[in-house]
Structure 1
């Protein structure tokens, strides 16, 4: 069977038992180092992808994919616009909202909150708040009864529960005979929800749309905007841009990537930094290939000289040692791929086993909102890591191979 000379000799050098066991040891550490680096890269990036996916799911579970509001602050004929939007592709839910800031107080506890007026019958179309209720129900919010639904952390901080009355203070003044006073209204807690996101659990309060309009002194039937849910969250940007061109003057449309741009940009930067740091592990292991090949070149001076006298060109000599070094990189990368993919796919099963064995908890639910270690293996990351590892390994072979090609036969064979 035909075998190109560089591949034949390079593979033969790799398979042969070396006289110098130290060279074999460095080759083995190079393979294991590359495998460890590739495994760490795939596993860590998969875990970070899992955390990002879990956070995105929780945040968008309480937030719309696309929001439409007006520069005037509020409008009243929202039903007409909502009916026309329901004919748009990919839209599966539309619900109106009113937003404002307020302070809630119960006994001696006072906290700042973001209040949101909703229609209980439409809100489940755009958020998961109904599924996240741990006490009461959003269906208990009825116009004119001034009920309120609050997050679990806020309820714990206030020391209140379902059926208790809390005071809501909005930063809008009312002129009275005794002077200008803030607007104050007593509400009955009708439900408590928990999302697992501090921003919502500690500061979001929900009340009926009509009660919110009355509290904020909006005209009857007015809203601040429309929340829109899609069947594919990644279609939000394109739909938002299309709606912006179709909406009447004075309206605007924006999507979740705009609302949480800073948050997801920070996660992306963390992933990039982690990728660079872990790539250094692969780089250090790959540069052990340089040491290995330099010593092999020194050990094989006579063989190189004989090949040159038989007509081997410098390019052929380079190719021999590039093949030998590249094989180390390929073996390390393949081992790392096997270990990384296996860990990434089974980490959610392995972590509980390790926690039970050491009788510990890595992510305690008392401290962290996400108490399990999620994993999201993305094959694009695997392809990038594989190519990067192979390129680093190949680059590490260039100098030793070039040095071997510069061997002078007369000098190498002088004392043989």
Structure 2
């Protein structure tokens, strides 16, 4: 069986019990440090990937990828939607009217962005139907002044489907009795929960009711919202569509309303990745101190091998193998534990929240209410490759130093 001498002796040095227990302890610490660094890096990057995924699927599933708005109310939105859906980059289109105001109930007040929608069309561009706790989009009927609210709003007001809410619009109505804000009573027809900040700031009513509140003609719309096949092309697609449309329109897209969240997550993932890579580097380069002490401890062995004819390259290979074994074992252990942690961190944190009776991520503060995780195998491969590479580099100096050992000098006092 072919066994290269450096590989054979290097593995034997790794398995052997050293006379100097301090060196064995430092070797163990180096291995554990590398394991911990790889584990934490995989776990944290998976959590950042989870936040990135939630931003795309939840928040960007509720808000428009892009919208085409008219400077004046749009009379024939169906014709406009047909033209927009003809573009191959557009998956679906639906009309909307947006109103800003405040919801009040029993003295409590909450700011809200109200979207007037047509239920059957809205279901094509929004994920709200998948996250309805009670009621459906179809419960919104023209002229009945029903409203669908988020779970946080419902919890804040302690309301259920069938209860009444008052919508206060930032416009004044002049009456013989004076100037009063515009008010309208709505009854709750449904409650949704996407687990994001939208649960406390968004509501939906029928587009016909929104047109009445805006004092528009029946059938008039503010614009058409779009769901795109590739949401990252939203600015370019929206701009191109506006240029092609006859009439006076302007475009908006998600990068203006929620792009700051996405950019922040991408930047944080990059910076945290670099910082955690430094932890892995520190753990990997602990191998240097370990091997330097091993070389000092094994000077007599090195001198004997050189006397028996071992070349400097052979000596160098022995200690490179020994250091690489520490790096491989630490990286593999960290990789396996990191993958297991990334796959189970959401359930573990949820269990810890139930055990402690507290919530670490609240939708009142953060844009989602739980800790997401998405394991990307490319990240695992890159992290493990980087750890192995740094571990290998860390072996070069001690191994070179061992190869420079002079036999006569090493054996002088032995």
Which category describes the TM-score, using the shorter chain as reference length?
0.7 to 0.9
- How far apart are residue 297 of structure 1 and its match? 0.9
Q: 1:336 aligns with which of 334, 337, 349?
A: 334
* Unaligned runs of at least 5 residues, structure 1: none
CA distance in 2, matches of 1:60, 1:122: 17
Give the 3 Å change call, closer, same or farther, for CA 239–265 of structure 1 in structure 2: closer
**What are the Cα deviations for residues 230-272 of structure 1, in whole angstroms up to 9, with x where unaligned?**
4x5xx12336524532432744545445542211222233334
CA distance in structure 2 between the partners assigned to 1:350 and 1:175 by the alignment: 57
Give distance in 2, aligned partners of 1:354 and 1:177. Answer: 60
Contact 2:161 2:188 (C-alpha < 8 Å) held by counterparts: yes
Residue 41 of structure 1: aligned partner: 41
Match of 1:381 among 370, 376, 379: 379
Q: What's 2:240 paired with?
A: 245
Q: 1:321 touches 1:401 (CA, 8 Å); kept in 2?
A: yes
Distance 2:352 2:143 in 1: 54
Q: Which moved more, 1:30-39 or 1:135-144?
A: 135-144
What corresponds to 1:300 in structure 2? 298
CA contact (8 A) 1:45 1:275 kept: yes
SS, match of residue 188 in structure 1: strand
- Matched positions, count: 409
1:79 corresponds in structure 2 to 78
SS in 2 for 1:144: coil
CA distance in structure 1 between the aligned counterparts of 2:357 and 2:301, rounded to whole angstroms: 58
Deviation (angstroms), 1:96: 0.7
| Counterpart contact for 1:136–1:190, Cα < 8 Å | no
Compute the TM-score of the two structures, normalised by the length of structure 1: 0.83
Per the alignment, do residues 272 and 123 of structure 1 end up closer, same or farther by CA in structure 2, a change over 3 Å counting?
A: same
Candidates 262, 280, 283, aligned match of 1:282: 280
Are 1:62 and 1:128, in contact at CA under 8 Å, matched by a contact in 2? Answer: yes
Q: TM-score, normalising length from structure 2?
A: 0.84
CA contact (8 A) 1:66 1:240 kept: yes
Residue pairs, 1:66-105, within 5 angstroms: 66-70=66-70, 72=71, 74-89=73-88, 91-105=90-104
The aligned residue for residue 211 of structure 1 is 209
In 1, the alpha carbon distance for the partners of 2:314 and 2:255 equals: 54
What is the rounded CA distance, in whole Å, between the counterparts of 1:122 and 1:16 in structure 2? 72
SS at structure 1 position matched to 2:221: coil
For the pair 1:117 / 2:120, whether they are aligned, the reply is no
Which is further off, 273-282 or 92-101? 273-282
Work out whether residues 148 and 188 of structure 1, in 8 Å CA contact, stay in contact via their aligned partners in 2: yes
1:372 Cα shift? 5.6
Give secondary structure in 2 for the equivalent of 1:226: strand
Could you say what secondary structure the match of 2:119 adopts?
A: coil
The more displaced of 347-356 and 19-28 is: 347-356
Alignment of 1:56-75 (within 5 A): 56-70=56-70, 72=71, 74-75=73-74
Alpha-carbon distance in structure 2 between the residues aligned to 1:144 and 1:393:
70
Aligned match of 1:264 in 262, 275, 278? 262
CA shift in 2, pair 1:155/1:331, >3 Å = closer
Whole-Å Cα distance in 2 between the matches of residues 148 and 162 of structure 1? 9
The match for 2:222 among 220, 224, 230 is 224
C-alpha deviations, 1:334-389, integer Å up to 9, x for none?
Answer: 11122222333344566677788xx5457479888866654321101101210121
Structure 1 partner of 2:390:
392
Instruction: Describe the shift of the 1:355–1:158 C-alpha distance in structure 2 as closer, same or farther (beyond 3 A).
Output: closer
Larger displacement relative to structure 2 (389-398 or 303-312): 303-312
Would the aligned equivalents of 1:345 and 1:377 in 2 still touch at CA under 8 Å? yes
Which aligned pairs between 1:174-193 and structure 2 lie closer than 5 A? 174-176=173-175, 181=179, 183-193=181-191
**Cα distance in 1 for residues equivalent to 2:353 and 2:158:** 34
Does residue 170 (structure 1) correspond to residue 169 (structure 2)? The answer is yes
Cα pair distance change 1:229/1:412, threshold 3 Å: same
SS at match of 1:125: coil
Number of the residue aligned with 1:128: 127
Residue 199 of structure 2 is aligned to residue 201 of structure 1: yes
Task: State the 1:114 CA deviation.
Answer: 1.3
